[in-house]
């Protein structure tokens, strides 16, 4: 089974830049989208009823902001729920939780801490709620959990091109990176790093300024993490930096289902 995740930075804009071509060529079984920035009624028929997929949108109350969407190939049994059950997060359209036969999938758009760091406390509250909810569901449903999406944090120096000049930037603040250490200690694994533990130069987001994408001056802030016990089911975890259409690139997870 293939799961792909992509912060599309506005699904309507991305649709005009080859989004449907990517879906047709890549053929994921499950697609998790973040920062859709639209209500379903604002979208084309092809985005609302996308052919081979069933789609669900978790939109923000504020128009043109945030939002997530999960697409599942028809014929794959699943159940969805929108949100974490916490109003201050759910009004921003940041999470869809999907239950499949053998695992649970969180599609999350983690908050940005903002340049003045004013949203960092909100961001960390969201992060901790996601981890808590995931562990609760693991225990209740007796299924392992995958958490994918735009985490808006680079975990270690290897995960961004210029760590020294970004130590005071949100997305690489010590307090944000400490949460990822905490996340790991709670029993979660960064799946990309199980395959490429020491390789630098692997990024998923590049600013539009200064030809940074062409020069590969970026950040790895989009992830697949899972509960530790799920790791043995993972065949590969890759990035697709050649796919344009957003300032992020898609990330991909191949899993074997027992």
Q: Which residues are known catalytic residues?
A: 150
- Distance between CA atoms of residues 14 and 202, nearest Å: 22
Q: Are strands 68-73 and 95-99 parallel, antiparallel or unpaired?
A: unpaired
C-alpha angle 60/64/67, rounded to 5°?
35
Whether residue 19 contacts residue 37, with contact meaning beta carbons closer than 8 Å, is answered with no
Phi-psi region of 171 (alpha: psi -120 to 50; beta: other; left: phi over 0): left
225 by DSSP, 3-state: which? strand
């Amino acid at each position: 089974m293939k799961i792909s995740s992509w912060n599309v930075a506005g699904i309507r804009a991305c649709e005009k830049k080859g989004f449907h071509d990517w879906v047709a060529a890549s053929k994921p079984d499950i697609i998790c989208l973040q920062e859709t920035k639209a209500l379903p009624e604002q979208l084309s028929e092809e985005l609302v009823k996308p052919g081979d997929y069933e789609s669900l949108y978790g939109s923000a109350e504020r128009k043109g902001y945030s939002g997530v969407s999960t697409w599942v190939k028809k014929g794959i049994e699943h159940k969805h729920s929108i949100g974490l059950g916490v109003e201050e997060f759910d009004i921003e359209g940041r999470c869809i939780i999907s239950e499949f036969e053998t695992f649970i999938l969180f599609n999350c758009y983690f908050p940005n801490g903002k340049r003045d760091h004013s949203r960092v406390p909100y961001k960390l509250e969201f992060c901790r709620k996601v981890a808590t909810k995931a562990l609760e569901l693991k225990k209740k449903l007796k299924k392992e959990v995958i958490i994918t999406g735009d985490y808006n944090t680079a975990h270690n120096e290897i995960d961004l091109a210029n760590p020294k000049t970004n130590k005071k930037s949100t997305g690489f603040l010590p307090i944000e990176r400490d949460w990822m250490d905490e996340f790991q200690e709670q029993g979660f694994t960064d799946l990309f790093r199980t395959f490429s533990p020491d390789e630098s130069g692997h990024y998923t987001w590049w600013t539009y300024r200064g030809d940074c994408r062409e020069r590969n001056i970026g950040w790895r802030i989009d992830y697949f993490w899972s509960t530790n016990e799920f790791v043995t089911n993972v065949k590969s975890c890759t990035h697709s930096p050649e796919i344009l259409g957003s300032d992020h690139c898609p990330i991909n997870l191949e899993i074997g289902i027992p």
